[in-house]
Amino acid sequence: MNDAIFSDGMSDDHPRMRGFNYECFPRKPEAHDCRLAAAKGGNMARSSKTTAKKKKLPEALIFVVSIVLVLAIVFGSIAIYRAHWRNATVVTVGEHEVSTVEFNYFLNNVVSDLVNSYGSYLSIIGLDPSVRLTEQNVPNTDKNAEPQTWAAYLADSAKTMAVNYYTVCDEAAKNGYELTQEQLDTIESQISTISTYAKLYSVSADTYIENMFGKGCDVDSYRDFLKLSYTYSDYISSLEYTDQEIADRYAKDPAEFDYVAYQLYTSAASSFAGKNDDGTTAEITDENRASAKAAAEEMMEKFEGENVVDYTEQSKSSITSTVCEEAAEWLFSDSVKADDLKMFESGDNYYVVKFVSRTDNDYKTVDYLQIYIKNDSTDDSSDSSSTDETKQTSAEKVAALKEALEKDSTEENFKKLVSTYSDSSTSAYTQATHKSIANQEVYEWLFNGNPSEGDYKVFETSAGTYAVLFQGYDKTCKDILVSNMLTNEWFEALTKDVAYDYNAGNAMHSHLDYALNSVYNLNRNSSIS
């Protein structure tokens, strides 16, 4: 690890992976029991021995005492300074003053989202974890835009999250929303888990949290943040809409929620251009464009071949990104009919599009549990702690799972079996749609097999084995899509004109470099990325 990437005296050891060697807060001086003797005229009584003769202190001792006093003043000033910025306000939202300590939690969330999205491929977005965030800029295609460092970008993102959280939570409080006892118990369970990990490293829970999130963070502040986070997400999830509200919003613009199936042929001018000596594509000429157009026109006459790609259940926005806006508008127009063809030009590419069908997504989604066991041939993981004698083969795991399910296939037991057998971290699926189920056999059984609640089935494929427990049907996909849109519109209206004060300088006191690298290396070491 490069020490240069850490700020504020942070160690280069990851707190969650190694020991805790970070700088500690200055301890408060111990209280001493000082007894003052009775004195006349406000003077302390002296014994005859002390008043008999004043002893001169050695010069060396005077020097040492002076040095100690100077150091006490210096380190005391540093302690006061650090205490100041830790408690300094970064963002003010209404009556809420977010300190640098609390800001570290928001920053950690922002960084975690970024790292979980890109993992070891942060370089794709122009981010180098080995370089300080204050010394590298966010890539920007707009040459006229003001340069922004990654430090400023991440801090601004954390600021936005803080503003959104408090705005939504204030709205929740105004409407009498409170966390349930079950949710509060879940929070305490998370605190308890941290305490357990802290004991493994022989440190307190406060120290463990401080080393995870930054100086000054502790159990109490972490609990408060968890309550805030739960309230934010759960209140948004609790928003419900009437059938009439959903119907009215859908009727306003059905194309926002419908999907279409279509076929696509792409004729790129670059495919007709030659290659340079270094292997790169040569500059595209008008002749290349003409050739591409001719190929597309020929395809209009006979729409077939291996270069024709099938697309199912695509949204309007997705088609706009994949093809072009004009193609999306045509596919969602009321006049288009099955097997209609049309050619579109975008840049140096020509597209031939064939309309297949359109759906309003008015079908029931499903809730189900799944256990997935990878076949040995597809399992590329290495477990150095296992031996050939002790490691259970996939076939043995499948056989054991089948036997366990035959004895007890209840939902409660199925959930227990997930932790024992599943090679996938995700096992519970709610409101699953057609698009969300990749395996065709599983899809057909859940949506077309008419299973009853509590039924299960085992599917053995070339890649692995799926054990699926059907829990029941849920809301329609259409209702979910419209409800999500209504929630997004509610959120945008609520947060659009929120007044807040932001101190970017105080935000920079948060451990930006440390947050990035701790999360990045945690994911890398745990093979998440």
Q: What is the pLDDT of residues 212-253, one digit of tens each?
A: 888 889 999 999 999 999 999 999 999 999 999 999 999 999
Residue 80 and residue 489 in contact, taking contact as beta carbons nearer than 8 Å: no
Question: Could you tell me the residue range of the domain that residue 284 belongs to?
Answer: 260-359
pLDDT at 44: 34
Domain shared by 369 and 439, yes or no: yes
Domain shared by 315 and 336, yes or no: yes
**For 202, phi and psi rounded to 5 degrees?**
60, 40
Domain shared by 275 and 291, yes or no: yes
Residue 263 and residue 354 in contact, taking contact as beta carbons nearer than 8 Å: yes
Domain shared by 396 and 422, yes or no: yes
301-323 pLDDT per residue, tens: 989 888 999 999 999 999 999 99
Domain end, chosen from 479, 498, 523, is at 479
Q: What is the largest CA-CA distance in the chain?
A: 121
CATH, residue 474: 3.10.50
In this structure, is residue 518 part of a structural domain?
no
pLDDT at 462: 87
Domain shared by 333 and 372, yes or no: no
In this structure, is residue 430 part of a structural domain?
yes
Domain shared by 325 and 278, yes or no: yes
Could you tell me which residue, 25 or 126, shows the higher pLDDT?
126
| Average pLDDT of every residue of the chain | 82
Domain shared by 343 and 375, yes or no: no
344-356 pLDDT per residue, tens: 999 999 999 999 9
CB atoms within 10 A of CB 117: 11
- Reduced to 3 states (helix: H, G, I; strand: E, B; else coil), residue 353 is strand
CA dist 380 and 391 (Å) reads: 14
pLDDT above 70 (res 326): yes
Domain shared by 443 and 404, yes or no: yes
Domain end, chosen from 462, 479, 496, is at 479
CA dist 50 and 522 (Å) reads: 63
Average pLDDT over residues 441-457: 96
pLDDT above 90 (res 446): yes
**For 454, phi and psi rounded to 5 degrees?**
100, -10
CA atoms within a 13 Å half-sphere pointing along the CA-CB vector of 238? 16
pLDDT at 86: 60
101-134 pLDDT per residue, tens: 999 999 999 988 888 888 888 888 898 888 888 8
What percentage of the chain exceeds 70 in pLDDT? 78
**Chain CA centroid to CA 195, Å:** 23
pLDDT at 168: 97
197-212 pLDDT per residue, tens: 999 999 999 999 988 8
* Residues composing the chain: 529
pLDDT confidence band for 431 (50 / 70 / 90):
very high
In this structure, is residue 168 part of a structural domain?
no
In this structure, is residue 339 part of a structural domain?
yes
In this structure, is residue 472 part of a structural domain?
yes
Q: Is the dihedral of CA 167, 171, 176, 180 positive or negative?
A: negative
Domain shared by 280 and 375, yes or no: no
pLDDT confidence band for 514 (50 / 70 / 90):
low
pLDDT at 56: 53
Average pLDDT over residues 488-513: 88
pLDDT at 397: 93
Domain shared by 342 and 411, yes or no: no
In this structure, is residue 24 part of a structural domain?
no
In this structure, is residue 221 part of a structural domain?
no
Q: H or E stretch including 343?
A: strand 341-346
pLDDT at 520: 65
In this structure, is residue 253 part of a structural domain?
no
Q: What does each C-alpha distance from 346 to 166, 281, 284, 285, 349 come to in angstroms?
A: 44, 19, 14, 15, 5
In total, how many domains does the chain have? 2
pLDDT at 65: 47
What percentage of the chain exceeds 90 in pLDDT? 59
Domain shared by 458 and 408, yes or no: yes
pLDDT above 80 (res 519): no
Average pLDDT over residues 141-170: 91
CA dist 486 and 357 (Å) reads: 26
386-411 pLDDT per residue, tens: 444 456 798 999 999 999 999 999 99
Strand-pair partners of 314? 260
Domain shared by 331 and 369, yes or no: no
Least Cα distance to 514 among 195, 215, 73 occurs for 215
- Predicted TM-score (pTM) of the model is 0.74
